[in-house]
Amino acid sequence: MGGMGGMMGGGMGNWPVTPGWGGQVLDYRQAQAFIRFGNEHGKADAHTNTVTFERKDVTIDLVAVQPGFDDQTFELHGLTNPTIVVPRDADVRFNLLNMDYGNNMQHTVTIVPTPPPYPYMAMMYLGPPVVPPLPELPWRSADNVKQAQFAALGNRFIANIAGTYWYVCPTPQHASKGMYGRFVVR
Ligand SMILES: [Cu+2]
């Protein structure tokens, strides 16, 4: 598999996280800190399932399959696949932590203008992304969540065009199973 080779992205394969996979490796305590940080940034509204960022300095700490949540979902502020709203021209740090475990449970995220529903091979269907996919984040290293290590990786972009987009996991079958949410620039 080879660590940095994975950074080339796209169909990287299917294995648990190892040191040197190409992104960050977090232990359980660091993963909890990542979630806490995400929960402290932006304002969540559970009623509308929305997390809104008012300032132009935006950090989104998104989790793939946080323990206790359904398979093939993203979490932020304890919400499942929330709509994320950022102001136009926001400087966005878009981070992803993979807490999922098991064969083919690598996840990633891209932002696209193409609305759901998505087919099994979503990548072929999505067209040019507005934010390219991160390399796939391998699944956690152990069944026991407290003893596991976790992959994390981030992107940074300027949200310079107002509109409605979608953040989507392009790993085969994940988007078709519902692993996506709305991303609004306003
Ligand atoms: Cu996924």
CA of 66 to the centre of ligand 1 (A): 12
Q: Residue 144: inside a domain, yes or no?
A: yes
Q: Residue 14: inside a domain, yes or no?
A: no
Q: Residue 6: inside a domain, yes or no?
A: no
Query: Residues within 5 Å of ion ligand 1 by Cβ?
Result: 107, 169, 171, 174, 179
How many domains, in total, are found in the chain? 1
Q: Residue 108: inside a domain, yes or no?
A: yes
- DSSP 8-state class, residue 16: B
Task: Give the domain range for residue 37.
Answer: 20-185
CA of 108 to the centre of ligand 1 (A): 6
pTM to 2 decimal places:
0.92
Q: Residue 77: inside a domain, yes or no?
A: yes
Confidence of residue 13 (pLDDT cuts 50, 70, 90): low
Q: Residue 12: inside a domain, yes or no?
A: no
pLDDT in tens, 44-65: 999 999 999 999 999 999 999 9
Q: Residue 117: inside a domain, yes or no?
A: yes
Q: Residue 3: inside a domain, yes or no?
A: no
* DSSP notation for 131-176: BPPPPPBPBPS-SSGGG-EEEEEEEEEEE-S-EEEEEE--STTTTT
Query: What type of residue is 122?
Result: A
pLDDT in tens, 116-163: 999 999 988 998 999 999 999 999 999 999 999 999 999 999 999 999
We report the CATH number of the domain holding residue 98 as: 2.60.40.420
pLDDT in tens, 59-107: 999 999 999 999 999 999 999 999 999 999 999 999 999 999 999 999 9
CA of 136 to the centre of ligand 1 (A): 9
